[in-house]
Structure 1
Amino acid sequence: MDEILVEKINKSFGELKILKDISMKCEKEKVTCILGPSGCGKSTLLNIITKNIKDYEGNVSGYKKDDVSFVFQEDRLLEWLNIYDNLKLVFKSKYKGIELKNKILESLNSVGMEKYKEFYPKELSGGMRQRISIIRAFFYGGGLLIMDEPFKSLDIKNKRVLIEDFKTLRNKNKNTVIFVTHDIEEAIELSDKIYVLSDKPTKVKKEFINVNINIYNELKDILIN
């Protein structure tokens, strides 16, 4: 997979203009953050990038659709399957036999959750369920990982645990990541590059390629104004 190019994306729903001339470059094996206010069209942009929305103007290139894995705001675990079988359901499209079993156990071991493999989702906390969602995405094998506000519904303690899980898994797997959030601290801590979006009609207000804590106030001012 090469770098992902998002070029002059425009999208409307009827008379409502959502996205206006959005262009981005998401570099291979880097984390690109899309930061913007709630309701600005971040999820719509993700659906265009991942080719789930096809009715738009512009172009997205640089990857194949079957090379993508997702972490959503909700964990999307099947309640009637235990954790092992939830992972098996996803992984079996890419792995077979003993490799499939080993991949499931490796993913659980990576965040210290192997002892929960026979538990059902309802027996786990929200934070633990989202940890399963994250390892499912990382170990699925897609070169492009899409994360749509994965920490949004978590308390501070669980959020901290999952952020550390993410950083550990990222360092090991080197996925190319597109990460959507409206949280400035998350964006600074996890990203190599940040694109700040305006409100609708949404455009790129600024691109940050040197991400560090010193840009916090500037990011805050851009989002407010």
Structure 2
Amino acid sequence: MSRRPVIVLSKPIKLRDHKERQRKADEDDELLADDNIDKERFRVWQTMRLFVEKYKGENFYRIWLGLCKDQKREKTIIRSYFRDYVESSQKTRPAFENGDDESQSIQTITRTKTVISHWRNLVVEADNTILREKRRDDPSIRGLWKLRWDKGDSRDSSVADISNFCVALYLTLVPAGLGFRPGSLMKFRYKHIRLLVVPDPENPSQNTIVAEITITYDKLQMADARA
């Protein structure tokens, strides 16, 4: 009597191997994503460092220590960096209209999220480098040398101040096409522009920032301004 062949099911083994390969692939993707994030953080970190040290003549290290102490001077320097960042985001490209060779300005930053993400990268990098070293050297007040950003929202008051400024800056400068002189916006002085915190119409439980012109122009004045 012949014996029946023993059939070994290979499917569970293949499935297990597949899951293991998938797990390794997922880990590789995560490592690649982390690497890309690290590269972006390093890029924006170096960009801000160049601005602070070369164009402002300030100590980049002390900027972040001052921010931890909520110092006005350091926050002003950081705001000036973001103003420069938004202003320089307008690029010129060739445009052909009615047979004429002209140029056209385009805005490369199209969302407030881009500006906030830029700021978040800087905060995280500062906390992981300069401030981590400071916490290690000065453990008695290590809580002072920390900037927090949890789940995409800034939880630190000084960080939140800059975040709100970034949003306000984008909402005022970018829609205006960046066509302004130093100290002015859309031919209005900054003192004639008021930023207001109002309930978000789409989500009343949250607030949003709007810009309001505090002086009025009649039609004749506006026509003269355009002429």
TM range (shorter): under 0.3
Q: Calculate the TM-score normalised by the size of structure 2.
A: 0.23
Q: Calculate the TM-score normalised by the size of structure 1.
A: 0.23
Q: Which has the higher strand share?
A: 1
